[in-house]
Amino acid sequence: MVKSIRQRPLAWAAPLGLGLAGCAGDTSILDPAGPAARDVALVWWGMLAFFTLVFVALVVLWLYTFRGGSRPERSAEDERRIGRHWILGGGILLPGVTIVVLLAWGVPAGQHMLPLPIGKPPMVIEVVGHQWWWEVRYPDAEGGEVVTANQLVMPVGEPVDFHVTGADVIHAFWIPRLGGKIDMIPGRINRIRLEAEVPGVFGAQCAEFCGAQHANMRLHVEAMPREEVEAWLAARRPEPAPTPEHAEAREHFREHCADCHRVAGVSEGDVGPDLSDIGVRATLGAGVMAMQEGAIADWLRHHQAYKPGNRMPAHDDIDAETLEAIGAWLETLQP
């Protein structure tokens, strides 16, 4: 194994310094960063408090029945009455009231996540789950659709509608700090509304088991002010003019990679992730390793060891220099 090469210090440490502000990592649902997640966290703490009370009371009562000593003599009628009180009070009244209150108080917590019509239609981001990477599309971007992969940029402080589907098997879209998850099912489009209240980087990972590399299907989510999102999208719109250097690497890419991958202005493959801005992405292989100098070439050589079973063929037939060259060129790809 070439495990030692693997370094991903940057993968999840948030560049903006906010991602790790929470108590434990950036996928904790107890560290909400949006209204939906906050409501759910509140519901959780409420349920936890009340249910702990119920649980402790029950166990104490139960243990108390085993105390030694004599019991009062009771008539059969008394016993029947006491038994009836226990069952009516604990068996019916307690759970009955609890579930009515819980339903009335808990269900509205999900309201934020429903794509109900609101005054100003929210921004739409389409996310498609693939084995094992994410395709992210901005259909309404000014001047034409923008496509990227394994990274998602969203505006902060406003609701965003995510329209999700699966390209092959069922995946699930989930940004724990923003709110609940929704399945990405081939043939349907599911919708969920999420909002980030603070800017930052949030972890996200496929939540529905989707095969061999389910564990390595992570999405880098970044919330930033609307203007920055617009700028980010605008930068990705024009097709970059090919630079004279790396011409040879581009040719190698056309030969070996273009059938599957798209690079704006170079190739139109749509089987694997779009690589047009790969040079500035935070991670490689949907969160398998951090992006840094030489990382792409390393990935190209050893990706079947880093992410066994991934759909990209092993590149044993391509010599190391070629892979180095392709990697070096891909690292230059920036919007």
Partner 1 sequence: MSETSTPRRDPEELHRTLDEVWANPRGFRALTVVNHTTLGLRFMITGLVFFLIGGVLAMLIRAQLALPDQDFLSPDLYNQVMTMHGTVMMFLFAIPMLEGLAIYMVPKMIGARDLVCPRLTAFGYFCYLFGGIIIISSLLLEIAPESGWFLYTPLSSSEFSPGPGSDFWLLGVTFVEISAMAAGVELVVGILRTRTQGMSLTRMPLFVWYILVMAFMIVMGFPPLILASILLELERAVGMPFFVVEAGGDPVLWQHLFWLFGHPDVYIIFLPAAGIVSTLIPVFAGRPIVGYSWVVAAVILTGFVSFGLWVHHMFTVGIPQLAQTFFSAASMLVAIPTAIQIFAWLATLWLGKPRMTLPMLWILGFLIIFVIGGLTGVMLALVPFNWQVHDTHFVVAHLHYVVVGGMLFPLVAGAYYWMPLLSGRLPSERLGRWGFWLTFLGFNLTFLVMHWTGLLGMPRRVYTYDTTMGWDLFNLISSVGGFILSVGIAMVIVDFALHFRFGRRSPRNPWHADTLEWANTMPPTNYNLVSLPAVHSRHPLWDDPDLPRSTSAGEHGLAGTTFGRREMWGSDPLTGQVREVVHVPTNSWWPVSAAAALAVVCVSLLARVYVVAGLATLVAVVVLLYWSWENGAHPRASASDEVAPGDPPLHSRTLDGPGRWGMGIGLLANGALFLSLLFGWFYLWTVSPQWQMPDASPLSLPLLLAGGVVLTAAALWLERLVRGLRRGHDRGLAFGLYGTAALGALQLVLLVVLLRQAELAPTASAHDAVVTVALIYGLIHSGLATVLVLLQGRRVGYGYVSARLPYEPLVVVQLWRYHLGVYWVLVAAFWLLPTLMGGSA
Partner 2 sequence: MMARLPLTHPLHLVIGMILWSLWFVAFYGGLSVACAVAPPDPLQGAFTAINAGLALLTLATVGLLAWLAWRAWQAARAARGRARYLARLSAGLYIFAAIGALYMGLPVVALSPCV
Based on the shown chain and the rule CB under 8 A, indicate whether residue 187 belongs to the binding site for partner 1: yes
Q: Which does 115 bind (CB under 5 to 8 A by kind): partner 2, partner 1, none?
A: partner 2
Counting every residue written for the chain, the total comes to: 335
Task: Count the alpha carbons within 13 Å of 71 in the hemisphere toward its beta carbon.
Answer: 8
Q: Which is nearer to partner 2, 33 or 192 (CB)?
A: 192
Q: Which is nearer to partner 1, 47 or 124 (CB)?
A: 47
- Encoded tokens for 331: 């690292």
Residue 291 · residue 239 · CB < 8 Å: no
Based on the shown chain and the rule CB under 8 A, indicate whether residue 27 belongs to the binding site for partner 1: yes
Q: Which of 298, 290, 293, 324 is nearest to 7 (CA)?
A: 290
Based on the shown chain and the rule CB under 8 A, indicate whether residue 116 belongs to the binding site for partner 2: yes
Q: Which does 72 bind (CB under 5 to 8 A by kind): partner 1, partner 2, none?
A: none
Q: Which does 318 bind (CB under 5 to 8 A by kind): partner 2, partner 1, none?
A: none
Q: Which does 207 bind (CB under 5 to 8 A by kind): partner 2, partner 1, none?
A: partner 1
- Encoded tokens for 232: 């980010």
CB of 222 to partner 1, least distance (A): 16
φ, ψ for residue 309 (rounded to 5)? 90, -5
Q: Which is nearer to partner 2, 68 or 117 (CB)?
A: 117
Q: Which residues pair with 138 in a beta bridge?
A: 146
Residues 6 or more apart in contact with residue 189 via CB below 8 angstroms: 163, 164, 165
Stretch that binds partner 1, among 6-14, 229-237, 254-262, 272-280 (CB under 8 A): 6-14
CA distance 274 to 133: 11
Q: Which of 87, 100, 271, 280 binds partner 2 (CB under 8 A)?
A: 100
Q: Where does this chain bind partner 2 (CB under 8 A)?
A: 99-100, 103, 107, 114-117
